[in-house]
Structure 1
Amino acid sequence: MTTEFELSCATCGGDLTRRTVSGDVLGVDIAETVPVAECVDCGGWYVPERTLDRVQ
């Protein structure tokens, strides 16, 4: 199965890299950190399905 980290950025086509952020950065009240996919070129963020499941 392809993950968000293997896709290209929808905005600029750049590579995505794994970054860990706190829940408050995403605007949710959780104590743990969660992974997001961040574009190395434009800085765009994508929230993986697994992260969405954890913060809902």
Structure 2
Amino acid sequence: MILGVSRDEVGRRALTEIGVVERDKSGLVRVVPAWTEPGGFTSRRDQLQRMIRERR
């Protein structure tokens, strides 16, 4: 899980994206969004929830 954070115009930090790490067919690793601040959850929502459950 990768957390994307950005700063606003006055310097406050805010969570803008949550990504999950996946390995593609060639073996390369990439980060794909599971949640974004403007768009909400993506098709990777179930994968993110599964990761959170397994960490408890």
Q: Give the TM-score of the pair, scaled to structure 1.
A: 0.32
For CA contacts below 8 A with separation 6 or more, give which structure has more relative contact order: 1
Higher strand share: 2
Q: Mark the structure with the bigger radius of gyration.
A: 2
Report which of the two has the higher share of helix. Answer: 1
